[in-house]
Structure 1
Amino acid sequence: MNDLYGHHEGDRLIKGFACVLENISNDRIFAGRYGGDEFIIIVHGWRFRKI
C-alpha cells in the first residue's frame, strides 16, 4: 500500500482497519502503526491456547 499509494494512504487504511477492529471488539482490540511499514494489534484479555 505504502509503495503504491504513499504513507498517507497507508495511514488512512490502518486507521480505518483499527476503527473496524475496535468497533467489533467492544474496545478490547487496539491497532496502530508501529513503524514505517509495520503495524501492531493488541488484544486485551486474550489467552493463548495451543491448538
Structure 2
Amino acid sequence: MKEFARKIEIAREILHKKIEENMDKKEILRVSQELDKLIVNYLLECTIKA
C-alpha cells in the first residue's frame, strides 16, 4: 500500500506542475486520469485487505 501512496503523491505533484505550467489540457487530463486510476486501485486494495 505504501507503493500506491507513493505513486499517488508523484502523480499529484506532476499534475500540479503541469497545471502551473499551463500545459496542454489533453496532457493535464491524461495525468488526472492516471491519478484517478491509482486512487481507485489503492481503495480497492484497502477494501480487499480489510
Bigger relative contact order (CA 8 A; separation at least 6): 2
TM-score, with structure 1 as normaliser? 0.43
TM-score, with structure 2 as normaliser? 0.44
Pair member with larger Rg: 1
Structure whose residues are more often strand by fraction? 1
